[in-house]
Amino acid sequence: MYAKGTVHYQPLPLPDRVRLPDEAALAAAQAFRAQMARRHSVRDFLPDPVPESVLTECIAAAGLAPSGANHQPWHFALIGDPAMKARIRAAAEEEERVFYSGGGGDEWLSALEPIGTGVEKPHLTTAPWLIVVFAQRWGHTDEGTRYKNYYVPESVGIATGFLVTALHQAGLVCLTHTPNPMKFLNGLCGRPESEKPVMILPVGHAAPEATVPAVAKRKKPLEQILTVFR
């Protein structure tokens, strides 16, 4: 967290140690991989309520992510108000109409075709909660002095990964929804110009009729995403 003035390095003994024996480490890694293999991006939600406390715990977990200079350049807006969700859906669909009418370009639209996306975004109003992720490009002290944040996209990306994982761990489903541009969210959520909305996560429970695109199950094999230098 940013602190004004001169702050000196002060080492602390490592507060937590989680080292496991090799066999236990492998078993834990395999169990986590199996757990994450069950995570799916969902567009069909039940309107059933989810306790706010579950969402705030997941967001608190996201706040534990590492960040550049420990500035923690993120903010999360948790929205359950139906009127706000309706306004977000209307604005997002308006931007999507421009995108799908040609603004996105042929290559991008062709890449999205197997995913089955389109202009209509009912998940933005059906899901009981929306989480809007903001990236804080710069910050201000209490006196109004501006300070710089570092590695903002990387830091916010890591925190969002923590959040998606925490939601899955809590038995919830979500969708990484990224309408572009999303400037309307600053005014709607009362966030300053220094923050850029980067993602909307509809969160809840999957509807009984929920589906996923077949191509979503096609993941690159390990040998395509890993190079080992021994």
Query: Tens digit of pLDDT for each residue in 38-54?
Result: 999 999 999 999 999 99
**Phi, psi for residue 224 in degrees, rounded to 5:** -90, -15
The reported pLDDT for the residue numbered 18 is 92
On average, the pLDDT of the chain sits at 94
Note the pTM of the prediction, 2 decimals: 0.95
State how far the Cα of 225 lies from the Cα of 230, in Å rounded to an integer.
Answer: 16
State how far the Cα of 203 lies from the Cα of 174, in Å rounded to an integer.
Answer: 5
**pLDDT tens per residue across span 145-188:** 899 999 999 999 999 999 999 999 999 999 999 987 788 899 99
State how far the Cα of 225 lies from the Cα of 227, in Å rounded to an integer.
Answer: 7
The reported pLDDT for the residue numbered 14 is 94
State how far the Cα of 90 lies from the Cα of 21, in Å rounded to an integer.
Answer: 53
**Residue length of the chain:** 230
Output 86 or 105, whichever has higher pLDDT. Answer: 86
The reported pLDDT for the residue numbered 191 is 96
CATH architecture of 41-211: 3-Layer(aba) Sandwich (3.40)
